[in-house]
Amino acid sequence: MSEKYIRYQGIIFPAISSEESHFQYVRNEFQVRDNDIFNITFPKSGTTWMLEILSLIYKNGDATWCNTVQNWERAPWVEAKDLCAIVEKNTSQRLISSHLPIQLFPKSIYNSNAKIVYTARNPRDVVVSLHYMCKTAQFLEPPENFTETLDLFLKGEVIYGNWFDHITGWLGMKDKLNILYITYEELKKDLRGSVVKLCNFLGKELDDAAIDSVVENASFKVMKNNNMSNFSQSDQINANISPFMRKGVTGDWKNHFTVAQSEHFDAVYQERMKDVKMKFPWDQTSIA
Ligand code: A3P
């Protein structure tokens, strides 16, 4: 395994931000608060986008916070030790991001009323986005080619593990946690409607102008130009190879998968998702 990764409980994580002792701390000692709001995703599923939407809703549509504070400080990743310290110092209502699979998530979630937004994305597009991320992020191992990324993804040998385990694990929390499932594809199709749905879930009443502002400031165009949201200030991302805000579309997988890869992916998907009742936008025939 590359020295850029560590393995913990069978899953690989970026060594730059991951420590076994911190994972244990997060799981067993981190205290979730009743008014916490969690932004949960498998990497490359729209984490940053949802973070922005939640930040804007949190501030009732006022974009000042998003324009002045880095996203990783607004909704820090609990699994990263330095960022977790920011979370724990925060005495206000907290926005917290995480890519953790459910089995590594803080146990204290089960005794709390914290709200969780789980954003999923067509895994085919997740692979593509991850492929470019691995090329551009210095803390990840650059792949030889797309075939390599796809193989590793299907084996669960990518950061944060197996996509199928991640999503089925979190879907299994439907009746146990205060959780809203939403997809990248829904955000793309109807951002305004999605914002309203999120406001309802979070118990936030925003007027039309505030909702308009959330929609405008969470658009791909605005976020791509916002240095607090586009990771341009991170020394880990080489935008010359591929910017973090890359394409921001659905269905880019069609430009990357061969027919054989697509058929193989479908077969694995069918098998791994056969017990999942929830239907996703990408489950429709013209998978997009
Ligand atoms: P692409 O690489 O397909 O462009 P994450 O934040 O989980 O790492 O996900 C990153 C992906 O979300 C990237 O996808 C990025 O372009 C996309 N993204 C970020 N903000 C977006 C927005 N406002 N609208 C659409 N896509 C967005």
pLDDT digits (tens, 9 = 90+) for 122-151: 999 999 999 999 999 999 999 999 999 999
Surface-to-core class of residue 166, CB atoms within 10 Å of its CB (0-12 exposed, 13-18 middle, 19+ buried): buried
Query: Are β-strands 37-41 and 115-120 bridged in parallel, bridged antiparallel, or unpaired?
Result: parallel
Q: What is the band of 1 on the pLDDT scale with cuts at 50, 70, 90?
A: confident
What's the predicted TM-score (pTM) here? 0.97
Is the CB of 194 within 6 Å of ligand 1? no
Residue 46 confidence (pLDDT) above 70: yes
Specify the pLDDT at position 285: 54
Q: 127 C-alpha to center of ligand 1: Å?
A: 12
Nearest-atom index, ligand 1, CA of 133? 2
Angle at 275 between CA 269 and CA 280, to 5 degrees: 60
Q: Structure tokens of 87?
A: 């979370």
Q: 247 C-alpha to center of ligand 1: Å?
A: 7
Q: Structure tokens of 71?
A: 């996203």
* pLDDT tens by residue, 93-107: 999 999 999 999 999
Residue 288 confidence (pLDDT) above 60: no
What is the mean predicted confidence (pLDDT) over 212-230?
98
What is the mean predicted confidence (pLDDT) over 66-89?
97
For the chain, strand residue ranges (E) read 5-8, 11-14, 37-41, 95-98, 115-120, 178-183
What is the mean predicted confidence (pLDDT) over 238-244?
94
Is the CB of 224 within 6 Å of ligand 1? no
Nearest-atom index, ligand 1, CA of 45? 7
* pLDDT tens by residue, 190-214: 999 999 999 999 999 999 999 999 9
Q: 129 C-alpha to center of ligand 1: Å?
A: 8
Domain 12-272: CATH superfamily, name plus number: P-loop containing nucleotide triphosphate hydrolases (3.40.50.300)
**Separation of alpha carbons 27 and 21, rounded Å:** 10
Q: What is the band of 284 on the pLDDT scale with cuts at 50, 70, 90?
A: confident
What is the mean predicted confidence (pLDDT) over 75-100?
98
Residue 286 confidence (pLDDT) above 90: no
Q: Number of helices (H) and strands (E) in the chain: give both, helices first.
A: 13, 6
On average, the pLDDT of the chain sits at 97
